[in-house]
Amino acid sequence: METKEIAELIELMAKGNLSEIEVEREGFRLRLRKEPPPAAAHPHMVYASPTSIVAPEKLKELAGPSAESSREIRSPMVGVFYRSPSPDSAPYVEVGQEVNENTVVCIIEAMKVMNEIKAEARGIITEVLAENGKAVDFDRPLFRIRPLP
């Protein structure tokens, strides 16, 4: 089984919200299992320092009325997280920026393919949770946004 086929299986797991998949072919057996994300066990755990620094007063203002009203943009795949399209370009989004469902917020490089990740919701970016140029796991929180009506 080639790595491309394995990547397709991982993508199938993500899109189908599957927690486990097993494939057997010509004496080769592959079993993929997704463990629950650590965020489920520790909802207040911080995974990485934010890449943008914001004054505490401004963060409270951006965060809105309560943490329960915030939402996370999560990684749909395993790969390397990039905030901008190239090293010398500005980031796709910054803390405090309004986004909509089609706004590209970052790129995740997986198997030398650059995958644009969209916000998929309307809101204000309140926190960047992943570090630029670092590997991210499937379902890892990348950004926190405050939804807008």
**Using one digit for the tens of pLDDT, what is the confidence trace for 1-45?**
677 777 787 777 777 677 777 777 777 777 777 765 554 444 444
What's the burial of 125, exposed, middle or buried (CB within 10 Å: 0-12/13-18/19+)? buried
Q: What domains does the chain contain, in order, with CATH numbers?
A: 1-34 (no CATH), 43-147 (2.40.50.100)
* Residue 120 pLDDT greater than 70, yes or no: yes
Residue found by looking up tokens 């796709």 in the block: 92
- pLDDT confidence band for 144 (50 / 70 / 90): very high
* Residue 121 pLDDT greater than 50, yes or no: yes
Per-residue pLDDT, averaged over 136-142, amounts to: 93
Which is higher by pLDDT, 93 or 64?
93
67 phi and psi, to 5 degrees? Answer: -65, -25
Which is higher by pLDDT, 89 or 37?
89
* Residue 75 pLDDT greater than 80, yes or no: yes
| Residue 103 structure tokens | 């706004």
The amino acid sitting at 49 is S
At residue 24, the pLDDT reads 78
pTM assigned to the model: 0.55
Round to whole Å and give the CA distance between 104 and 56: 26
Average pLDDT over the chain, rounded to whole? 79
73 in Cβ contact with 123 (< 8 Å): no
